[in-house]
Structure 1
Amino acid sequence: MTSAPEKTSPSVTGTDVLAVARAQVLEGGVGLTEEQVLEVLRLDDERLTELLALAHEVRMRWCGPEVEVEGIISLKTGGCPEDCHFCSQSGRFPTPVRSAWLDIPGLVKAARQTLVAGASEFCIVAAVRGPDERLLKQVREGIKAIREDGNEIQIACSLGMLTQAQVDELVEMGVHRYNHNLETAKSHFPEVVTTHSWEERRDTLRMVREAGMEVCSGGIVGMGETDEQRAEFAVQLAELDPHEVPMNFLIPQPGTPYENYDVIEGKDALRIVAAFRLAMPRTMLRFAGGRELTLGDLGAEQGMLGGINAIIVGNYLTNLGRPASQDIEMLADLKMPIKALSDTI
């Protein structure tokens, strides 16, 4: 973790944190420190509009106006041996989700629908600790079938923790981006997962980066973490320097240890989004699971004007999202151009 420089630390100088952020982040392109992020997270509600406006300026300056649209599909659902307390796909909890595999024709159809919806990114996800030979074979054959269908959409994967050999195999398949969420701050992780460590997740991301794939790593807010841990998490992600950070908000899943957790209030979710943007001015920040429940339609638009520059459209893994057409219409209304497939291949 890093400490705020004495000359800019609001707690040391009394300087307003948004004034500091305007100079440090908007003008200088340097993300906020952990101490500064915490101050942002503790801003009064009456300053939320000002905060969101600044986060949007930062997004426009350092990322530009384009929005990357992505669809995701579950290749292998349920039956995961890990005990991630938020996840309905863990085989350790009495959730309604049951193990299932998607066949290759289904995968090809999903990729085609994702492309037609206007997305440039298609992520293949599996509920596993890490991929075995059967899963990698299914991914390989699925990617081959998608290409034979004439679909040149960018393909990403999220298949759990990897070995170096598996990383190399995914690169050879043509996977350009790999998602593996750190999920939460290192200090909070043992309260969320006990069957593997935060460091194991980070090690997979290190191998992914070194192999030349883009790194996608974010997490879920609303799992009982403190403001201090949210600030810690933002800076730990910034230190990872990921290409993309998915912002998920907890959806309390029946049967999981978090089934009775409260949903984060919309204003708090927007404040968190803006704080993460100020911590990572150049990173693709993506609206992911839980935004519909936490923010609703109006909140989604506010988030797009508060630092977000990427979005998952359609349904998530075991939860319904908004129809892709609604999000595409929202981006058109906001005059935010969708990143074109031709620009990414």
Structure 2
Amino acid sequence: MTHAPARVDILDLARDQVLRCGRGLDRAQTLEVLRLPDDRLEELLSVAHEVRMAWCGPEVEVEGIISLKTGGCPEDCHFCSQSGLFASPVRSAWLDIPALVEAAKQTAKTGATEFCIVAAVRGPDARLMAQVAAGVEAIRGEVDIQVACSLGMLTQDQVDQLAALGVHRYNHNLETARSFFPHVVTTHTWEERWETLSMVREAGMEVCCGGILGMGETLEQRAEFAADLAALEPDEVPLNFLNPRPGTPFGDLEVLPASEALKAVAAFRLALPRTILRFAGGREITLGDLGAKQGILGGINAVIVGNYLTTLGRRAETDLDLLDELKMPIKALGESI
């Protein structure tokens, strides 16, 4: 009589496959991690932290973001209060160049090495591209910091312009799994976003691509999303957690439970062992102070300091003090993680 081989525990498999060999978990394995019971969360976070330390090191990349153009976006991203299609309270506004430079200076003072210029648009028009070009030039003339941009979907000419300006990294989030995307956005497709990211990579800019967890996706779709990102191989993955915004279609959704959010952090680290994994929007309402510490000890190796685009974040000093307490140095300008 033959016996079926004993089932390998998923965290033992992760120790062998990811920690020792550096090969990320696949979609089915990631789903198994996401399904772990809460009483194994501490062990899971410990394994994810070991992976982060082994394949990324102790350094933490710090970034600040600023909105160059706020509100009035024509797209219907159901989580976003900047859509002009929803009765949300965000008003359309533009930031001038001196204010942009000052924001970059204040960001650099925190020790941040990355400053991201963001605009609420489907994609940039000529006016916005001119404003970005002037802003990048002014910042590079006065502040020693790398400049990133997040301006929506791009044409090849616009990608080439940004690369020529010396933009270091381009952010364009896939937001969620391909199978769930039509429940989140209907005015453009997941594939259109992927096309922009492909052009960015080919132009030599670093690719920043993540999304938002807790928008009603299943655990299976969360694992699918991690696999999508692994296939893209982005340099950075910002992990946001839904902070329900009044007036948006997702305004009444429940905040993701902290244990579920932390499992996702660890699962994404195990799926993407060498990637910069950044705490982004919604972590304050989802995780609080204790959860922020658990996340940084559970796979995170980058943070956004200060406020987000339309929501308040933690004080920069609070995050920097936490990194000091954990003896995790801030990545210096020019270093790679």
TM-score (norm 2): 0.98
Query: 2:195 matched to 1:164?
Result: no
In the alignment, which residue of structure 2 is the partner of 1:240? Answer: 232
Residue-pair matches, total: 333
**1:71 equivalent in alignment to 2:59:** no
Aligned pair partner of 1:47 in 40, 45, 49: 40
AA in 1 matched with 2:273: P
Q: What is the aligned-residue RMSD (CA, Å)?
A: 1.1
1:14 is displaced (CA, Å) by 1.6
Matches within 5 A, 1:50-129: 50-129=43-122
SS of 2:170 mapped into structure 1: strand
Give runs of ≥4 in structure 1 deviating > 2 Å.
none
Which amino acid counterpart does residue 212 of structure 1 have in structure 2?
Answer: G
User: Percent identity over the alignment?
Assistant: 71
1:33 maps to amino acid: D
Structure 2 equivalent of residue 20 of structure 1: 13
CA-CA distance at 1:319 after TM superposition:
0.3
1:144 is displaced (CA, Å) by 1.2
Partner of 2:292: 300
- 1:32 — aligned with what? 25
Which of 310, 313, 320 is residue 318 of structure 1 equivalent to?
310
- Give the Cα separation in 2 of the matches to 1:90 and 1:322: 24
Gaps of 5+ in 1: 1-10
Inter-partner Cα distance in structure 2 for 1:74 and 1:66: 27
Match runs of 1:147-296 below 5 Å: 147-149=140-142, 151-296=143-288
Per-residue deviation at 1:12? 8.3
> Could you give the per-residue CA deviations for residues 304-327 of structure 1, whole angstroms, max 9, x where no partner exists?
000000000000000000110110
Q: Deviations over 1:108-132 (max 9, x none)?
A: 0000000001100000000000000
Q: Secondary structure at the match of 1:303?
A: helix
Q: Deviations over 1:13-42 (max 9, x none)?
A: 521000111000000100001111011000
Measured in 1, the distance between the counterparts of 2:222 and 2:309 equals 24
Shift of 1:343: 3.0
TM-score with structure 1 length normalisation?
0.95
- 1:145 Cα deviation from its structure 2 partner: 1.2
Q: How far does residue 296 in structure 1 lie from its aligned partner after superposition?
A: 0.3
Q: CA deviation at 1:165?
A: 0.3
Can you give the 5+ residue segments of structure 2 that lack an aligned partner in the other structure?
none
For 1:186, the aligned partner's letter is: R
Residue 77 of structure 2: SS of its match in structure 1? Answer: coil
How much does 1:261 deviate? 0.2
What SS does the aligned partner of 1:343 have? coil
Q: Secondary structure at the match of 1:341?
A: coil
Residue 182 of structure 1 deviates from its aligned partner by 0.2
Q: CA deviation at 1:166?
A: 0.2
* Cα shift at 1:148: 2.3
